[in-house]
Structure 1
Amino acid sequence: MTSATTISSFDGEELAIHRMGEGQPVVLLHGLFSSAQMNWIKYGHAAKLVASGFECIMPDLRAHGESAKPHDASAYPHDVLVSDAAAVVEKLGLEHYDLVGFSLGARTAARGVLSGLRPRKLVLAGMGLEGLAGWEGRAAFFIDAIDRYDDMERGDPAYFAKNFMKTMKTDRIAARHLLQSVGDTAPDALGAIAMPTAVVCGDDDRDNGSAENLAEAIPDAVHIEVPGTHMSSVVKPELGEAIVRYLTA
């Protein structure tokens, strides 16, 4: 059973927190245009963690899910998602916890650690080395999809992004502001990630660059391959199984 509560983030905006299970806390950060429900609950990943003795703490990121979606650009300062993640850890009084992120959630988790978060173990899923730097180009693709949303036709390279936004009922004004707030991480900064880390990525996922190179850039990291592309890996049981194996090892 999932319970949902809200907390006030660092600036007073409300964040929805979905919780399942009891035991070792693990904070799970979902991907762009997704939600805790879609990324972690729907396909059973959270249930696998709960069955293995974890409490899953799954915030909806700002501008996503049941969390606040302000339309004022001032509500999206640089690295706002990192500040939100820190607020979740602080407000819930988490000390001995694990941190898992997928795609945008992985970027947020990595930057959170570099900003001072200290989880026991870190899992960066759906992420490669190039995906942590050069965010401007990646963001531009999605901003363009938002700007051309009403005129985009099937066959357009961004048509899948449009369909996912439609499915998730994405607030495009809020999402556009959020996309402009995400910070880059230089490869040489990753040496400061000191805790054991798993880089978990689909065998056909190159959306965010090389997972192998990301694992090599982090001192105590392993690369774990699961089946799928960037989007299909999320729906496969192997993703949750890989996360469970790493966190329980």
Structure 2
Amino acid sequence: MAIPLADLTRMPDPQRVEVGDDGVSLAAYSWGDLDAPMVVLVHGFASSTRDTWVLTGWARMLEREGYRVLGIDLRGHGASEKPHGVGGCTVRNMASDVESVLDTFLVDEAFYVGYSLGARVGWEVVQDLGDRIPRAVLGGVPDGIPLEHLDVEQVRRYIADATPVTDDRTRSYLDLTERVPGNDLEALLALALGLRDSRSIDPDPAHAPQQPVLFATGADDAVLEGSRHLASAAPQSTFFEIPGRHHFNAPGSKQFRMAALEFLRR
């Protein structure tokens, strides 16, 4: 008998964790046996744990394979608090947020799986916690300033009076934002502005993760070559080009899921 879709995508109740100097409340979700090996899942910009990892089958697959799964809604996303101020919205702070959640859950060791912004944050986390993150999957990781190509003025006009957005990349991000229930466009704009101020910590190939990392990026993704460049700097990296996928639909690829699962099993 087929399992009803509602059962496959049911979310556990969020557990609240206050992080950072500003005390932002994050939502975290846990699946699986408490004593099983841990996998931490961190989503991309304008997405959520549910959108990136539950609706696409990742959380269920990992739990079925015997892992304990911990999903984190980044600040400004999902069921986490959505501040409208730019302060605190940097890659460095978001990496510290993830580390605080791991500490709160008393996680001594975990695999890390991040996509897009979650992968960019993961680039920092896996280096900060090298002894606690033995293996990581970084999907669609951008090699420059996050959301550098977002036309902020067009977004502001869209928020103010619904002026149509003509820039294709910006329109794609808005489409994603409006597709995910509960998104707050003003909070996400503040986040985008904060991330663009993170210029001093662009991912530096000279300081790449030293543990095994699977880099995976869609064949039709604009960041493909940048992701390859970052992967080439990591001494124990593997690169997987996700066939027929662009940046916004790569997490739904079964081939991506299987490649990640094989990598984590090693």
Using the size of structure 1 for normalisation, the TM-score is 0.88
Contact 1:80 1:181 in 2 (8 A): no
Give 3-state SS (helix, strand or coil) of 2:148's partner: helix
In the alignment, does 2:253 pair up with 1:236?
A: yes
Q: 2:96 aligns with which of 62, 79, 83?
A: 83
Q: 2:172 aligns with which of 138, 154, 160?
A: 160
Cα distance change of structure 1 residues 170 and 162 upon mapping to structure 2, 3 Å threshold: same
Cα distance change of structure 1 residues 120 and 145 upon mapping to structure 2, 3 Å threshold: farther
Which deviates the most, 220-229 or 39-48? 220-229
Q: Counterpart in 2 of 1:126?
A: 140
In the alignment, does 2:58 pair up with 1:24?
A: no
Cα distance change of structure 1 residues 145 and 89 upon mapping to structure 2, 3 Å threshold: farther
CA distance in 2, matches of 1:211, 1:78: 17
Q: Counterpart in 2 of 1:100?
A: 113
Deviation at residue 126 of structure 1 after TM alignment: 1.1
Q: Counterpart in 2 of 1:139?
A: 148
Give 3-state SS (helix, strand or coil) of 1:223's partner: strand
Contact 1:133 1:187 in 2 (8 A): no
Q: Counterpart in 2 of 1:55?
A: 68
Deviation at residue 158 of structure 1 after TM alignment: 2.4
Cα distance change of structure 1 residues 72 and 229 upon mapping to structure 2, 3 Å threshold: closer
Contact 2:205 2:234 in 1 (8 A): no
Deviation at residue 201 of structure 1 after TM alignment: 1.5
Gaps of 5+ in 1: none
The CA deviation string for residues 134-167 of structure 1, in whole angstroms up to 9 with x for no partner, is 44xx335153453242212578442222221112
* AA at the equivalent of 1:7: V
CA distance in 2, matches of 1:6, 1:119: 23
Cα distance change of structure 1 residues 78 and 134 upon mapping to structure 2, 3 Å threshold: closer
Which deviates the most, 155-164 or 28-37? 155-164
CA distance in 1, matches of 2:228, 2:91: 28
Deviation at residue 248 of structure 1 after TM alignment: 0.6
Q: Counterpart in 2 of 1:201?
A: 217
In the alignment, does 2:77 pair up with 1:64?
A: yes
Gaps of 5+ in 2: 1-9
Cα distance change of structure 1 residues 153 and 145 upon mapping to structure 2, 3 Å threshold: closer
Give 3-state SS (helix, strand or coil) of 1:132's partner: coil
Q: Counterpart in 1 of 2:17?
A: 7
Q: Counterpart in 1 of 2:204?
A: 186
Work out the number of aligned pairs and report it: 242
Deviation at residue 235 of structure 1 after TM alignment: 1.7
Using the size of structure 2 for normalisation, the TM-score is 0.83
Give 3-state SS (helix, strand or coil) of 2:80's partner: coil
Give 3-state SS (helix, strand or coil) of 2:87's partner: helix
Deviation at residue 15 of structure 1 after TM alignment: 0.5
Give 3-state SS (helix, strand or coil) of 1:66's partner: coil
- Write out the 4+ residue segments of structure 1 that deviate beyond 4 Å after TM superposition: 153-157
Deviation at residue 216 of structure 1 after TM alignment: 1.0
Indicate the percent of aligned positions where both proteins have the same amino acid: 26
Q: Counterpart in 1 of 2:127?
A: 114
Q: Counterpart in 2 of 1:247?
A: 264
